């Protein structure tokens, strides 16, 4: 899954996941590539060094040069994952950590973490994505000293897809990542599915946005076309109805189709919860 964001494949890269059998990498209208990947317990995607990445595409956070726009787009559809970042030797400051804490308060993709480091007894659970009443606009955390926060040398969280809930269309949490050497996603269950969206042009410089929703079996949600172009990707079977003309389109698992009308409804026709992605250029 190398792109212009990556340098030549080296030992600095980690890529244990494989293309899901029965699928293939698809070029969608010469706008982006989509690949469905499967990993088993212990498989990882990530890096052991920043040397694996092309620094020409490092777009830094305005308040921290240790945070950069995420260079790869991974979206999770089954199994369990551990997301790991190592701060050792990376000159991560207390100020950098406080900037990070303000990035995605109460985002549904960070809910229902089953195990975290630092654990709640070191940092209150609410900084891991739960209620944020203890964090002010400067990233100051009620009851946590600068000394404690500054001493943290790594961070990770474990989550299971069965616990995920995204009841409304929500912008992807994958916007910024730490600019550090060691960072990876690890499968903690067999049959963990990740989907890679790889724009032909840089995601951020081409203004691509990604939103997701999870629909329970039998339920219907309103979906609008946003930006231009706009695509709908489905992790399972569903009916997509153009409400202006009352025309229904059948989507199968891993279908990705361009939305050309303004308003749709999507019904989950399967027996399991359905995750959908909406890709669009924000123009």
- Phi, psi angle pair for 230, to nearest 5°: -135, 135
Count how many residues are written for the chain: 283
Q: Give pLDDT tens digits for 163-208.
A: 999 999 999 988 899 999 999 999 999 999 999 999 988 888 999 9
Q: What is the DSSP string of 247-260?
A: EEEEE-TT-EEE--
- Integer CA distances (angstroms), 258 to 224, 248, 251, in order: 12, 14, 12
Strand partners, 252: none
Q: What is the pTM of this model?
A: 0.88
Ordered structural domains, the chain, with CATH: 13-165+174-206 (no CATH), 214-281 (2.60.120.10)
Q: Tell me, what's the pLDDT at 122?
A: 58
- Quick: pLDDT tens for 229-277: 999 999 999 999 999 999 999 999 999 999 999 999 999 999 999 999 9
């Amino acid at each position: 899954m190398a792109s212009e964001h990556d340098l030549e494949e080296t030992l600095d890269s980690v890529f244990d996941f494989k293309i899901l059998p029965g699928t293939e990498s698809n070029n969608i209208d010469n706008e982006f590539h989509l690949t469905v990947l499967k990993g088993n317990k212990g498989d990882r995607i990530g890096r052991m060094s920043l040397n694996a990445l092309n620094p020409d595409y490092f777009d830094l956070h305005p308040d921290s040069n240790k945070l950069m726009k995420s260079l790869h787009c991974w979206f999770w559809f089954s199994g369990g994952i551990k997301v790991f970042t190592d701060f050792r030797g990376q000159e991560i400051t207390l100020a950098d950590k406080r900037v990070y804490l303000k990035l995605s308060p109460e985002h549904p993709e960070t809910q229902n973490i089953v195990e975290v480091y630092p654990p709640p007894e070191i940092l209150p659970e609410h900084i891991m994505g739960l209620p944020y009443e203890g964090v002010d606009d400067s990233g100051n955390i009620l009851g946590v000293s600068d000394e404690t926060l500054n001493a943290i040398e790594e961070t990770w969280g474990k989550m299971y897809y069965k616990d995920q809930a995204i009841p409304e269309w929500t912008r992807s949490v994958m916007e910024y990542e730490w600019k550090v050497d060691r960072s990876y996603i690890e499968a903690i269950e067999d049959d963990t599915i990740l989907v890679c969206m790889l724009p032909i042009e840089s995601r951020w410089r081409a203004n691509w946005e990604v939103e997701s929703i999870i629909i329970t079996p039998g339920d219907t949600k309103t979906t609008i076309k946003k930006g231009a172009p706009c695509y709908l990707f489905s992790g399972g079977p569903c009916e997509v109805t153009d409400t202006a003309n009352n025309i229904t389109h059948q989507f199968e698992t891993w279908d990705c189709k361009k939305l050309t009308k303004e308003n749709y409804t999507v019904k989950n026709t399967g027996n399991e919860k359905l995750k959908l992605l909406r890709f669009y250029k924000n123009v």
